[in-house]
Amino acid sequence: MSSTSTAHIAVHHENPQILKPRTVVKKVLAKQQQEGAGAIVRRSIGRPDLKTLDPFLLLDYATVSPPAGFPDHPHRAGFETVSYVLEGAITHEDFAGHKGTIGAGDLQWMTAGRGIIHSEMPAGDGVNKGLQLWVNLSSKDKMIEPNYQELQSKDINRVQKDGIDVRIIAGEAFGVRSPIYTRTPTMFLDFAMNPGSQLHQPITEGWNAFVYIIEGEGVFGHESSSTALSHHTLILSDGDGVKAWNKSRRSLRFLLIAGQPLNEPVVQYGPFVMNTLEEIEQAFEDYRLCKNGFEKARNWKRRA
């Protein structure tokens, strides 16, 4: 965890000028489906009508109550999973001996790399809610060793200004940066907008970007655009930033996520994501034989 991160920063910047505003080019409603062991997810990226958005492979909004969850499962994914808890708490455990619990507002940025087996299960009774994003890695990084970056809610940089409250998970907003290191250049911002507020947020040109609405309703792109409701994913056109308005009478909360495209082939089979079919076949072989990154898989089971 970074000792230099600061919460509740008082910063006063004028809304930056957006010269090439991004517009909404596709809207997808994340419908409920069952995953893992009885968990309910709303999947937006990673479904037939939105298979990927380079470099993003999957986005799930999960609702989990015991005994449901995501028990022991493998990855050789050459990707990173970003787990962000909204309500409750989730305990993670893997075959390398790493174990921890993240609660509401906490974040885990896990590099799956060459191989890992782990579990993600509710830490207590009641309903647990969170989001998980899969960020692809370039071919040169796919077989690196697994790694973790974790931030507690109190250590996530935050800015509150003009009716806008933003938690800066990756990238920058209002002149404040996140301490998270992203191998694939990524922006991940959690915005809450009060009724009547307006946002201008720069986004690097050439990056793919989208909005996921957690709650409320908002207008994105142009002020005359139609209102978008909760659990919709809005794919944005290219440009140097996005504009958003909360014209409703209640708070609007959404994620703004953007990343630099890798422009590489993607071959996926379940939890394994590589560049070629041969690499996928090799991943299954290594997993079956407990080698090339899966050595610790033999006889491992989560303790909790």
Residue 36 is predicted with a pLDDT of 76
The highest-level CATH class for domain 24-259 is mainly beta
**Average pLDDT, rounded, for the chain:** 87
Domain positions in the chain: 24-259
Residue 69 is predicted with a pLDDT of 79
Question: Does the structure show a pLDDT above 90 at 114?
Answer: no
Question: Does the structure show a pLDDT above 50 at 122?
Answer: yes
Question: Does the structure show a pLDDT above 50 at 12?
Answer: no
How far is residue 75's CA from residue 64's CA, in Å, rounded to a whole number? 21
Listed as own residue / partner, the contacts of 126-129 with beta carbons closer than 8 Å and 24 or more positions apart are 126/65, 126/88, 127/63, 127/64, 127/65, 127/87, 127/88, 128/62, 128/63, 128/64, 128/65, 128/85, 128/87, 128/88, 128/89, 128/90, 129/61, 129/62, 129/63, 129/64, 129/85, 129/86, 129/87, 129/88
Query: Which segment of 36-45, 213-222, 250-259 scores lowest on mean pLDDT?
Result: 36-45
Q: How confident is the model at residue 297 (pLDDT cuts 50, 70, 90)?
A: low
pTM of the model: 0.88
Question: Does the structure show a pLDDT above 70 at 2?
Answer: no
